[in-house]
Amino acid sequence: MHIVGTAALVTGAASGLGAATAAALAAAGATVYGLDLEKSTTGAEPVDGVTLLAADVTEEAPVREALARIDDDGAELRIIVNCAGIAPSARILSRKGPHDLDLFHTVLKVNLLGTFNVMRLGAEAIARHRPGDDGQRGVVINTASIAAFEAQVGQIAYAASKAGVAGMTITAARDLAQFGIRVVTIAPGIVDTPMMAGFSDDVRAGLGAGVPFPQRLARPAEYARLVTMVVEHDYLNGETIRMDGALRMTPR
């Protein structure tokens, strides 16, 4: 599928993976609409070709409003990239007691339910457009994590949410095949995003040294480049792709 002339919806677009992806798709010729929380979109640096819209991905109404905005602008939505997510750390049981239930619920709500919400509503919008010569209407790209497969201590909620995203992939691809919509998930390793900003240079260097090759943290631009490759590769469907430099996470 060609990127030029399409419209793309990217969640978590105000920073990190989402910002890099929105910029890459815009540079490739797409009209990009980025969703993020209002506090994140306020004051975000503008990017040519990217319109930031305030929306909570876990709620139906604001996502529908964003999709309506795309229609009103006369753009044809063909690409959805779900990058919105959170990654708090807590053990099942610690000196403070058992894992907070509300925290676990919040992580699943944002990472898993939010991804599903945007996918289901976005697929409905994509399905209204005419298919291309091969019957394809569009593609949904979700973001899991290698934590879905071998998470570390303190990542129980994050791991459960990202395993859920990976687990949806093949079923979603089969559900949406009749509409000509592909579904692919990317599972990044350790990426140098704003979530890593709180770590010291020594800690970040140590994390990068643990990657077999290349021995460094992944860059958001590398995730964005993989997104564009998935969009343009029409036979990639129902697959979860690890982007981790061959890293397999240790327990700690």
Summarised one tens digit per residue, pLDDT across range 160-183 is 999 999 999 999 999 999 999 999
Phi/psi at 49 (5° precision): 85, 0
Per-residue pLDDT tens digits for 143-155? 999 999 999 999 9
Q: Is residue 140 over pLDDT 80?
A: yes
Per-residue pLDDT tens digits for 56-112? 999 999 999 999 999 999 999 999 999 999 999 999 999 999 999 999 999 999 999
158 is annotated as an active-site residue = yes
Q: Taking a C-beta distance cutoff of 8 angstroms, is the pair 171, 239 a contact?
A: no
The residue extents of the domains of the chain are: 7-192+219-243
The whole-model pTM stands at 0.95
Mean pLDDT taken over the chain: 95
Mean pLDDT value across residues 188-201: 81
Q: How far is residue 25 from each of residues 133, 169, 238, measured CA to CA in Å?
A: 22, 22, 21
Per-residue pLDDT tens digits for 234-251? 999 999 999 999 999 889
Cis-peptide into 214, omega within 30 deg: yes
Higher local confidence (pLDDT), 43 or 88: 88
pLDDT band at residue 42 using 50, 70 and 90 as cut-offs: confident
In this prediction, residue 199 carries a pLDDT of 65
Nearest to 164 by CA among 149, 176, 183, 182: 149
pLDDT band at residue 41 using 50, 70 and 90 as cut-offs: confident
Write the secondary structure of the chain as one string of H (helix), E (strand) and C (coil): CCCCCCEEEEECCCCHHHHHHHHHHHHCCCEEEEEECHHHHCCCCCCCCEEEEECCCCCHHHHHHHHHHHHHCCCCEEEEEECCCCCCCECCEECCEECCHHHHHHHHHHHHHHHHHHHHHHHHHHHCCCCCCCCCCEEEEEECCCHHHHCCCCEHHHHHHHHHHHHHHHHHHHHHHHHCEEEEEEEECCECCHHHCCCCHHHHHHHHHCCCCCCCCECHHHHHHHHHHHHHCCCCCCEEEEECCCCCCCCC
pLDDT band at residue 198 using 50, 70 and 90 as cut-offs: low
- What kind of fold does domain 7-192+219-243 have according to CATH? Rossmann fold (3.40.50)
Q: Which one of the listed residues 33, 158, 223, 235 is annotated catalytic?
A: 158
